[in-house]
Amino acid sequence: MKLKIVTSNPGKAAEFREGLNHLGIEVEHCSIAYDEVQTSELEEVVIKGMEALRSKGLSNFIIDDTGLFIDALKDFPGVWSAYVQKTIGNKGILKLMENEENRKAEFRTCIGCDMDGETLTVTGVCKGSITQSEQGTEGFGYDPIFTHDGKRTFAEISLEEKNEVSHRGKGIRLLVEKLESFRSAETERN
Amino acid sequence: MKLKIVTSNPGKAAEFREGLNHLGIEVEHCSIAYDEVQTSELEEVVIKGMEALRSKGLSNFIIDDTGLFIDALKDFPGVWSAYVQKTIGNKGILKLMENEENRKAEFRTCIGCDMDGETLTVTGVCKGSITQSEQGTEGFGYDPIFTHDGKRTFAEISLEEKNEVSHRGKGIRLLVEKLESFRSAETERN
């Protein structure tokens, strides 16, 4: 079978390809634009996005949405992470976190998969904290100010290590599990 | 004729009622939920919202969307103003603006009106700046940190004065003008 990864980011498509390859699922990168709704729930963004794509006639596809949720900022920037990054950026986040002792934060990725009209969703979470300053040059977005082990930021570890511990890596592994059980249930039915 | 004001805010409906009354347009408050898309353009949020409401069978209605656009923050919080207010709030904005000399900001309201399937949109703008601290107890949202005259914030002036100078007040007056010319053109056609 074949699944389309709907994203404007080719790197993301490559991550999905790597994760789904051993299931014999062929992954195709596909960059159709669709509207993301304004809501504070990642899963709602994904489910409504899937509805929008289905209404365009698409089936058998994967989309995802990712956010950084900072405890002391009442989950800001959350589902607006991409836009916040483009405006106030990491410097803005560090300013908001000045003199803040509670530095807990987590990255969440929600992945939605359409399988012949059936909806599967999974959410991968990576718990960590916000550093006092930007560190490292790898990765992108909030990586230089997020640490999962309290020592190195996501911009200071290799992509391989990041995939092992990150929200998206976990989300992809959860999706693989769900797809495996979905397909074995389907085989039983047939 | 009758127009439905689609909003969860009864105060907003009252403002529209007052503005449209003298045109002989009856205003009805109506709180149907609709999805707002994630985009950095206020007008796009409104136009897509109108499409969503039409697909639910609604016609002859008004919706609006409002944002605070801060120059030094690359237009943050913009279309996400409502969510940013709920999370980091005015204290967060003041923290982001610490030691910032450029304090220019503007409120913008985009109003969309469906007239028998025709789309009218107008945008009202109120230019001003961000204060150094919260001042005043009137109004709501960003009012205590926004001043249009460099002296008093929107939380320190009367509602009457605010309606005269505010983005929404201006937007409603622009809408009234457009509705007047739309209706006189229609009369000419018939």
On whether any CB of chain B is under 8 Å from the CB of A48, the answer is yes
Q: Name the β-bridge partners of A62.
A: A5, A113
pLDDT of residue B187: 76
Closest chain A CA to residue B40:
A83
Residue with tokens 């405006």: A87
What mean pLDDT comes out for the span B160-174? 89
Question: For residue B10, what are its two tokens?
Answer: 């009864």
Q: Mind listing the pLDDT tens digit for each residue in A127-160?
A: 999 999 999 998 889 999 999 999 999 999 988 8
Overall residue count recorded for chain B in this entry = 190
Work out how many CB contacts closer than 8 A connect A with B.
Answer: 68
A96 touches chain B (CB under 8 A): yes
Tell me the average pLDDT across B85-94: 96
Burial of B183 (0-12, 13-18, 19+ CB in 10 A): middle
Check pLDDT > 80 for residue A9. no
Q: How far is the CA of A20 from the CAs of A35, A54, A175, A177, in angstroms?
A: 26, 22, 9, 10
Q: Which of A23-32, A97-106, B52-61 has the lowest mean pLDDT?
A: A23-32
Q: Give the burial class of B137: count Cβ atoms within 10 A of its Cβ; 0-12 exposed, 13-18 middle, 19 or more buried.
A: exposed
Cα distance from A108 to chain B (closest Cα, Å)? 18
Domains in chain A, number: 1
Tell me how far apart the alpha carbons of residues B24 and B61 are, in angstroms, rounded to a whole number.
Answer: 15
The answer to whether the Cβ–Cβ distance between B92 and A76 falls below 8 Å is yes
* Number of alpha carbons in the 13 Å side-chain half-sphere of residue A77: 25
| Option in A37, A76, A88 nearest B37 (CB) | A37
- pLDDT tens digit sequence for A107-127: 999 999 998 888 999 999 999
Which secondary structure element, helix H or strand E, spans residue B167, and what is its range?
helix B167-189
Q: Whole-angstrom Cα distance, residue B136 to residue B130?
A: 14
Contact A38 B35 (CB under 8 A): yes
Distance (Å) of CA B16 to CA A65, B9, B113, B188: 37, 11, 12, 26
Q: What is the ipTM of this complex?
A: 0.72
Residue B141 has pLDDT above 80, yes or no: yes
- Annotate A114-148 with b (16+ C-beta within 10 A) or e (fewer): bbeeeebbbbbebebbbbeebbbebbebbbbbbbb
Question: In the predicted model, what is the mean pLDDT of chain B?
Answer: 90
- The mean-pLDDT minimum among A33-42, A157-166, B71-80, B126-135 falls in A33-42
* Segment A151-158 long-range contacts (CB within 8 Å, at least 24 positions apart): none
Q: Residue B76's Cα: distance from chain center in Å?
A: 16
This prediction's pTM:
0.80
- Say which CATH number the domain at A184 has: 3.90.950.10
Q: Which of B36, B76, B81, B99 to substitute to test the interface with A, most A CBs within 10 Å?
A: B76
B87–A75 CB contact, under 8 Å = yes
Q: What range does the domain containing A45 cover?
A: 2-189
CB contact set of B64 (below 8 Å; sequence gap of 6+) = B7, B12, B46, B109, B110, B111, B112, B168, B171
Q: Mean pLDDT, chain A, as a whole number?
A: 90
Identity of residue A68: L
What pLDDT, on the 0 to 100 scale, is given for residue B27? 87
Tell me if residue B35 is catalytic: no
Task: Specify the pLDDT at position B20.
Answer: 82
| A74–B88 C-beta distance less than 8 A | yes
